[in-house]
Amino acid sequence: MKKVGFVSIVGKTNAGKSTLLNLILGKKVSIATSKPQTTRNAIQGIYNDEDSQIIFIDTPGLVKAHQQLDRYMNKQISSSLIDVDALIILVDASIPFNKEKDQIIKDRFERDCPTFIVFNKIDLTNIFLIENLKKEYHELLPKAEILEISCKDKFNIDVLLQKIKSVLPEGEKYYPEEMTSDHPMSFLMGEIIREKILLFTEEEVPHSAAVKIDSIKKINDTLHIDATILVEKQSQKKIIIGKGGWLIKKIGIAARKDIEELLGRKINLTTFVRVEENWRDSANYLNEFGYGLNKRDE
């Protein structure tokens, strides 16, 4: 018998949720960047060791719902909270507490399961800020246990894991040990391309882009991957392509390098940039690019 269970990682955007998941797993299953709203889908990362199997669920950061894509992201958060065995509420500890705004943490995340409020980025903050955060979060969610970590310095990650194990039930593994995520490899390939777009573009472009893998074909010993990048405006397409195609080339080279590392083999990556106005509000395009809402979610 092992300690097994589902643990959702929730919080505001940019708190470091995806970074934490990748760090715990020791491999990348979820992209992480300094841009807000990097994660759009709930992503399961499956952690295994001798005495446990923990299925962590990385979630999008909280967003105000303006478009259907935002509603999809919010739905991903709430679905990830159903039937979890424990909850990690990740907080960027370098940002001071705001009584009005941070009430949302209680409103959205308070559950009956064991809950850890985890202050991340303590490498960026100081003891006074942390003490104040502790006081405020204790008032907000008195039953939750508070912990400090730094993903950057890999500080206290083992302590967090031990604490989580201690509250999980015993049982049989849910998944075979070679499985690390619930998403297929093609999903991560698309996300890696999106990560490069997030890294190399500014303002509205990162949030207006989606990526879809159209085909993966093996010819001789090389994998040929075709991907479509969707944007909302002609001007964004121009930015992503860049003068003489320099930026799309840069995005492609960086993505290819990461995907090759992931697969341990050479690939050939072809990207095609398509413009669809308001795709973030169109059920058809959301479906096509992996953000489909059920009718009852709308």
- Residues in contact with ligand GTP by CB under 6 A are 13-19, 32-34, 36-39, 60-61, 120-121, 123-124, 150-152
- Is residue 39 involved in binding Mg ion (CB under 5 A)? yes
Nearer to ligand GTP, 37 or 68 (CB): 37
Nearer to ligand GTP, 69 or 241 (CB): 69
Residue 109, CA atoms < 13 Å, CB-side half-sphere? 30
Angstrom distance (rounded) from CA 186 to CA 200? 22
For the record, the structure tokens of 202 come out as: 């500014």
- Is residue 48 involved in binding Mg ion (CB under 5 A)? no
Residue selected from 8, 14, 18, 125 as contacting Mg ion according to rule CB under 5 A? 18
Helix and strand element counts for the chain (H, E): 10, 10
Q: By Cβ distance, which residue is nearest to ligand GTP?
A: 61
Angstrom distance (rounded) from CA 167 to CA 113? 9
- Is residue 22 involved in binding Mg ion (CB under 5 A)? no
CB of 40 to ligand GTP, least distance (A): 8
Q: Which stretch binds Mg ion (CB under 5 A): 14-22, 121-129, 227-235, 282-290?
A: 14-22
| Exposed / middle / buried, residue 151 (Cβ in 10 Å: 0-12, 13-18, 19+) | buried
Q: What is the phi-psi region of residue 218: left when phi exceeds 0, alpha when psi lies from -120 to 50, beta otherwise?
A: beta
CA separation, residue 19 to residues 120, 144, 210, 278 (Å): 10, 22, 21, 30
Nearer to ligand GTP, 17 or 212 (CB): 17
- Is residue 44 involved in binding Mg ion (CB under 5 A)? no
Q: Which residue has the tokens 């074909």?
A: 217
CB of 93 to ligand GTP, least distance (A): 9
CB of 121 to ligand GTP, least distance (A): 4
Angstrom distance (rounded) from CA 36 to CA 17? 12
Nearer to Mg ion, 18 or 115 (CB): 18
Which residues pair with residue 43 across a beta bridge?
Answer: 58
- Is residue 38 involved in binding Mg ion (CB under 5 A)? yes
By a kind-dependent CB cut-off of 5 to 8 A, residue 96 interacts, out of ligand GTP, Mg ion, none, with none
Segments in the chain forming alpha helices (H): 17-25, 68-80, 103-109, 127-140, 157-167, 185-200, 204-208, 234-241, 246-263, 283-288
By a kind-dependent CB cut-off of 5 to 8 A, residue 152 interacts, out of Mg ion, ligand GTP, none, with ligand GTP
By a kind-dependent CB cut-off of 5 to 8 A, residue 212 interacts, out of ligand GTP, Mg ion, none, with none
Binding site for Mg ion (CB under 5 A): 17-18, 38-39
